[in-house]
Structure 1
């Protein structure tokens, strides 16, 4: 069978090549570099579309052993190629130019291909191709329509340019099915590529592709299904947005170095997508926002070093709320012009934010992961957040690391861990800087909370709000610098609370009162640290710390030692230390210098008190009412300690004196203990009415309230000596033959003895037979009367002191 007679020589040659299954090269230059004008082509290079259709639909049989195919190179196709609803032989056009858009809707064939061709467009909707479709290195100046196609092999649109105008769809692949790979490597579109409900059983290759539809969805592929992976890790550029919402990819999605530009709009939408083996968008440059809402990723999400700019005010730069990742989520070194939202996210392994730069707007948090679940570590080392970092009610199985981070949110909450459950440690030291409140209210930390060398600044409020905080290990804030209140009221720390060498500037009462709502749990203004009702099972260590305002330890229960040693207590405010109701094994109160403001240990209970000369204020009030301690380790002289007790108990109470005396006795300082008890009794009388006070002074003078019995003996001896000498040398004999006083009865009297007479007058309870036998006259009578009265006073005082001593014993 031969070609029709009216066919041109070129068409007849094509007939022959078709029957042999060989390529026909008509010698035309490549149209992708040459001119599309008609004069470019000679008559021997022109094929009518009608002839092509005849060959492909009704062509002759091939010679035995030759494949049924048409391969044409270097030709110009004139007229309209119409193969709609036809069953075609396989064809491949190479370096050909079509004057009109080929029409192939609903056609069936084994293979079709256009390589290095030039076409006004391509209409091939609903074609059924049992093999591959190649559209390589070709230029289309209108839409390529492959909607609802069924392709049994690869669909290659490699290095091809499709120009449909910025407001149209350039490549239409909606509802298409590609049994193997969809390759768009190096493709260029002016207009969108639409892949709604497309299914590719192999890979989707987007390397070096460019899609251009400013302001719209340049890549519109919701509900895309890919059986392999999406490879776009080599410089995709998109002017417009990328919509992949609801897509499903059985492998991984790689979009490294992608550039997307849709300013102030959604640039990349992956809502409700499922990527089985990971999503990577490293080193991306995106102008506009990203949505990963409810996205599920089976391995890893990685946006490392991606820059997201020109985000609309009030919109998240990355909205990934309820994101689920069965691996690690990496946002390291990202630079976002809006918030990162991971609300309710579930991440099976690590969340990495190291080096990230995050920004909130107005009341928006820069990073929001409230209610998130993280299966291992949260690593945000050297992260910067302008706006709050919110981890409210988050659960983190591993460690939380914000070492060297910078978190800024003015006077609002900058680092929000309220009700968070951190099963590992919270490492937030180094050069961590928090401007605003670090909120740990009712949070739980499973190991240590470390703020070593951190800086927390909120001078008009709480630098750390940690009421109800629970720490299973130590809270370490050595060398930490804070401006604002550190509030640990009601917290529970299983290990130590350490603020060694910290500088705690506290909160000015005047500054805090400006528009600040009163704390319902108590007054907290004017303090540097408040630990009201806290429990610390280890030590509270403030060695070398500098507190500009009050240290509040009211009601704190400490398992071991409270160390206020080398500490600089408050230079501002009415109080330096308030520890009413403190319970501790040991209280070491040895500040660097004597406090200049009040110190209160009312109702505190410690087993051992360690203090010294610099422990107590010299002029400010001291309150030790109800203070209980069992042992005392001190170099403070007893007189200084008595002076301290007098100042600490404006209203006399025997308890503090007795407690001090008992501790001194336990330390083997019995003499000092007696001095203390003596001072206690003396002060007890000073607190009574004038008569009792006089009686007390008399007891003190005579016997030191029983603590100076030798004083009574000495007074008695002096009185006896004085009286004896008087009655010996100062009395003229009553009778010449009888020296001394005149006898009451001349014939009944003992022999005169001035010393026995004086002793009988001095001891009123014993009758020596001399007092009533002699009758003093003149001055001697006054001396006798004074001696008798002194005897009664001495006896009464001694008996009273002896009774008190017996009761004390």
Structure 2
């Protein structure tokens, strides 16, 4: 192409190119004075070189580019900067190799730049791309800038495709807007990904699909607004994942999927608002996971699925509001699970399921509100810090193991919780509570728990076995109140001594019978293992015979229960 074939606007660009000078059409009226044909730009980029001592580059501002800019598989040695330009057709850059490419503030009907190689920076900051922007498989040695760009239009399925892109530095998309899906599947970003304040609109679909994303630092989605699912499943983030103040909406579906992710520094989801399910299952977070003041809504379903979650520090649910079931089954949390001031709402169902978990500390306060059951079956927690009033009306505690229970409260304040177990009488739960009092040396608390356990157990027995239980409690308090047995013995001994002292029973063999002693005769009747020779020598008659039978029976009952109590005392030692 020769310069005589060019329009005046194109001649300006042609002459400026060898010296790398910018051609600004901002002061020219719309029309031919701003119009540059795409084939002219192609010819310029592929055939022209630099002037002596200069660096050639294509630099235009506010131009209208007509026709299709076709650089498929082309190698462009010169930087390209097209600020605020308007493209009539979709640029075709498939497989091209360029030095730097800057489309800042331009308007395009689409962008086909899949597998493009950029030796420096690719900048689409502030662009308006009404159709699909294809950058899948791109190799960008520097950074990718999408700040303030707008991609897609209502009804477009995919707005920005960055699948398997490789970015040598950072990916910036602060304030990015997309009508349709933004795809980052399998992308690799050496630095960080920053989509703070982005607005993604794909209701009923996927707003951001970054499955298997790999970054070298942080991922910031702070203040993100998304209609549709945000998917980071399987991502590798050695730094921090930020979703502070984000607002996500996918009613009836999954609003956020960060399942199986690996996060190094921590995940900050403070103030997150999500309508739909949050997936955290099988995720690994080396640092803390913070959901303070988050509001999660999935009525009647699972609102937070953190099954098999692994956290190397704390999980903070301070003032969390969750409508639906919070699922932590099988989680491993090295530090605290802090639920202070949290509200779990799932009436008639399980509100918080933390079964089969291993947790350092669990914190519940009385300002926490739980509407629904709490399931801690088979979990192991080193320290449980919970006021008695913090627990809901229904709990599930079978197999729940804990080492310490704080703050210290009398056993009578802790026992009502065990009576609310959904499984009814759970012996293991009583043993655990008794063990916690034993560790702090509160033997009175231990006895209170053990006595309560016997009473609950008695309620599960048939009527005839319950009679024996009542008798044991009245006599010696199931062996936990030995002084009561001593009092019964003294009372029966006094009554028997008085009765037989006033009316001596007749001797069986008058010539061989020793002298009668009412005290030792009564002791002979009461204590089956002691023989003073009195019982065998005398035979009471009438009502006194029935009295002797009663004393013998009472003696056996007291002896049995005392032996049981001694056995329990020795086993506790």
Is the Cα contact below 8 Å between 1:470 and 1:491 reproduced in 2?
yes
TM-score by length of 2: 0.90
1:383-782 equivalences in 2 (<5 Å):
383-429=176-222, 431-505=223-297, 507-509=298-300, 526-572=301-347, 574-590=349-365, 592-618=367-393, 620=394, 622-635=395-408, 637-648=410-421, 650=423, 652-729=425-502, 731=503, 740-782=504-546
Q: 1:635 to 1:434 in 2, by over 3 A?
A: farther
Does residue 1:274 correspond to 2:75, yes or no? yes
Give a deviation string over 1:159-204, Cα, whole Å, max 9, x none.
Answer: xxxxxxxxxxxx28xxxxxxxxxxx765689xxx9x9xxxx98889
Correspondent of 1:252 among 52, 57, 60? 57
1:295-310 equivalences in 2 (<5 Å):
295-298=96-99, 300-308=100-108
What SS class does the counterpart of residue 711 from structure 1 fall into? helix
CA positional deviation for 1:392: 0.8
CA positional deviation for 1:206: 6.9
Is the Cα contact below 8 Å between 2:35 and 2:64 reproduced in 1?
no
Q: 1:373 to 1:353 in 2, by over 3 A?
A: same
CA distance in structure 1 between the aligned counterparts of 2:367 and 2:21, rounded to whole angstroms: 71
> Which residue of the partner structure matches residue 118 of structure 2?
325
Q: 1:647 to 1:322 in 2, by over 3 A?
A: same
CA distance in structure 2 between the aligned counterparts of 1:326 and 1:572, rounded to whole angstroms: 58
CA positional deviation for 1:601: 1.0
Larger CA deviation: 210-219 vs 746-755 = 210-219
Q: 1:204 to 1:557 in 2, by over 3 A?
A: closer
Higher helix proportion: 2
What SS class does the counterpart of residue 625 from structure 1 fall into? coil
CA positional deviation for 1:436: 0.6
> Which residue of the partner structure matches residue 164 of structure 1?
none
Q: 1:573 to 1:337 in 2, by over 3 A?
A: farther
> Which residue of the partner structure matches residue 551 of structure 2?
787
CA distance in structure 1 between the aligned counterparts of 2:329 and 2:317, rounded to whole angstroms: 16
Is the Cα contact below 8 Å between 2:246 and 2:272 reproduced in 1?
yes
Q: 1:275 to 1:635 in 2, by over 3 A?
A: same
CA distance in structure 1 between the aligned counterparts of 2:524 and 2:279, rounded to whole angstroms: 75
Is the Cα contact below 8 Å between 1:611 and 1:636 reproduced in 2?
no
CA distance in structure 2 between the aligned counterparts of 1:206 and 1:758, rounded to whole angstroms: 123
CA distance in structure 1 between the aligned counterparts of 2:290 and 2:149, rounded to whole angstroms: 30
Unmatched tracts of structure 2, length 5 or more: none
Correspondent of 1:228 among 34, 50, 53? 50
Is the Cα contact below 8 Å between 1:551 and 1:577 reproduced in 2?
yes
Q: 1:807 to 1:649 in 2, by over 3 A?
A: farther
Q: 1:419 to 1:187 in 2, by over 3 A?
A: closer
> Which residue of the partner structure matches residue 100 of structure 1?
none
Q: 1:303 to 1:614 in 2, by over 3 A?
A: farther
CA positional deviation for 1:279: 0.9
Is the Cα contact below 8 Å between 1:201 and 1:228 reproduced in 2?
yes
CA positional deviation for 1:630: 1.7
Larger CA deviation: 328-337 vs 475-484 = 328-337
Give a deviation string over 1:701-758, Cα, whole Å, max 9, x none.
Answer: 22222211111111111111222233345x4xxxxxxxx4444444554444433332
CA distance in structure 2 between the aligned counterparts of 1:215 and 1:225, rounded to whole angstroms: 17
CA distance in structure 2 between the aligned counterparts of 1:205 and 1:330, rounded to whole angstroms: 17
Q: 1:534 to 1:784 in 2, by over 3 A?
A: same
Q: 1:761 to 1:749 in 2, by over 3 A?
A: same
Give a deviation string over 1:98-152, Cα, whole Å, max 9, x none.
Answer: xxxxxxxxxxxxxxxxxxxxxxxxxxxxxxxxxxxxxxxxxxxxxxxx87xxxxx
CA positional deviation for 1:442: 1.0
CA positional deviation for 1:336: 2.3
Is the Cα contact below 8 Å between 1:567 and 1:591 reproduced in 2?
no
Is the Cα contact below 8 Å between 1:551 and 1:570 reproduced in 2?
no
1:122-271 equivalences in 2 (<5 Å):
171=5, 186=9, 219=40, 221-222=42-43, 224-228=46-50, 251-260=56-65, 262=66, 266-271=67-72
Q: 1:687 to 1:365 in 2, by over 3 A?
A: same
Q: 1:774 to 1:225 in 2, by over 3 A?
A: same
CA distance in structure 1 between the aligned counterparts of 2:224 and 2:18, rounded to whole angstroms: 49
CA distance in structure 2 between the aligned counterparts of 1:550 and 1:442, rounded to whole angstroms: 23
> Which residue of the partner structure matches residue 803 of structure 1?
567
CA positional deviation for 1:481: 0.6
Larger Rg: 1
Unmatched tracts of structure 1, length 5 or more: 1-145, 148-154, 158-170, 173-183, 230-248, 312-316, 510-525, 732-739
CA distance in structure 1 between the aligned counterparts of 2:387 and 2:363, rounded to whole angstroms: 9
Q: 1:221 to 1:773 in 2, by over 3 A?
A: closer
The count of corresponding residues between Structure 1 and Structure 2 is 564
CA positional deviation for 1:803: 3.4
> Which residue of the partner structure matches residue 284 of structure 1?
85
CA positional deviation for 1:547: 0.6
CA distance in structure 2 between the aligned counterparts of 1:382 and 1:573, rounded to whole angstroms: 42
TM-score by length of 1: 0.65
CA distance in structure 1 between the aligned counterparts of 2:454 and 2:154, rounded to whole angstroms: 70
Is the Cα contact below 8 Å between 2:39 and 2:68 reproduced in 1?
no
Q: 1:284 to 1:362 in 2, by over 3 A?
A: same
CA positional deviation for 1:685: 4.7
Is the Cα contact below 8 Å between 2:105 and 2:124 reproduced in 1?
yes
CA distance in structure 2 between the aligned counterparts of 1:391 and 1:605, rounded to whole angstroms: 39
CA distance in structure 2 between the aligned counterparts of 1:451 and 1:465, rounded to whole angstroms: 12
Give a deviation string over 1:227-268, Cα, whole Å, max 9, x none.
Answer: 118xxxxxxxxxxxxxxxxxxx973211222123x5xxx543
CA distance in structure 1 between the aligned counterparts of 2:20 and 2:360, rounded to whole angstroms: 69
1:10-159 equivalences in 2 (<5 Å):
none
Is the Cα contact below 8 Å between 1:271 and 1:292 reproduced in 2?
yes
Give a deviation string over 1:762-784, Cα, whole Å, max 9, x none.
Answer: 22221223333434333323222
Is the Cα contact below 8 Å between 1:452 and 1:480 reproduced in 2?
yes
> Which residue of the partner structure matches residue 353 of structure 1?
146
CA positional deviation for 1:276: 2.7
Give a deviation string over 1:780-807, Cα, whole Å, max 9, x none.
Answer: 2322222222122222322333334434
What SS class does the counterpart of residue 598 from structure 1 fall into? strand
Q: 1:214 to 1:332 in 2, by over 3 A?
A: closer
Is the Cα contact below 8 Å between 2:133 and 2:160 reproduced in 1?
yes
Is the Cα contact below 8 Å between 1:334 and 1:356 reproduced in 2?
yes
